[in-house]
């Protein structure tokens, strides 16, 4: 007897399990006073509540994955002057990013003159 083009009913929930595992949040978290200290500092520095919240969330996520205390991050940031702060945060935010997707770094590969000559501009 032909079953048609529908998949068998006993395939399980592998798709659901995959997406649940991919979006599972880490339940360790950080204490509210550390979170509030970092958020307040970044609100003052960024001048924007939304930018401060997003930057704080990223820093807390990286700190948790690298087992770094968020308060030590604040201490290091406060030692820097305004001109160094952007570069320091860019390097820190790039810790967990894929090498092809780094923030604040332009990668301009050198082109072979014979290849670039063959490309019509």
pLDDT at 45 over 60: yes
Parent domain of 40: 30-93
pLDDT at 56 over 50: yes
The answer as to whether 109 is a domain residue is: no
Lookup: tokens for 38: 């970092």
Of the candidates 62, 21, 8, 17, the residue with the CA atom closest to the CA atom of residue 38: 62
Confidence band (pLDDT; 50, 70, 90) for 27? very low
How many structural domains is the chain composed of?
Answer: 1
pLDDT value at position 2? 54
For 35-44, write each residue's pLDDT tens digit.
888 888 888 8
Q: Residue 68 to residues 12, 34, 103: CA-CA distances in angstroms?
A: 39, 12, 21
The answer as to whether 40 is a domain residue is: yes
pLDDT at 8 over 80: no
pLDDT value at position 5? 72
The answer as to whether 88 is a domain residue is: yes
- DSSP output for the chain: ---TTSPPTTS-SHHHHHHHHHTPPPS----HHHHHHHHHHHHHHHS-HHHHHHHHHHHHHHHHHTT--HHHHHHHHHHS-HHHHHHHHHHHHTTTS-TTS-TT----PPPPHHHHHHS--
Confidence band (pLDDT; 50, 70, 90) for 1? low
The answer as to whether 86 is a domain residue is: yes
């Amino acid at each position: 007897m032909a079953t048609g083009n529908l998949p068998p009913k006993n395939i399980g929930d592998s798709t659901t399990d995959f997406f649940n595992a991919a979006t599972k949040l880490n339940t360790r978290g950080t204490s509210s006073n550390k979170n509030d200290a970092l958020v307040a500092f970044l609100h003052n520095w960024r001048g924007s509540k939304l930018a401060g919240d997003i930057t704080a969330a990223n820093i807390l996520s990286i700190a948790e994955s690298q087992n770094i205390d968020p308060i030590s991050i604040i201490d290091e940031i406060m030692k820097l002057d305004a001109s160094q702060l952007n570069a320091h945060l860019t390097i820190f935010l790039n810790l967990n990013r894929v090498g092809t997707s780094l923030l604040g770094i332009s990668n301009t590969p050198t082109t072979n003159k014979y290849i670039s000559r063959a490309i019509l501009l």
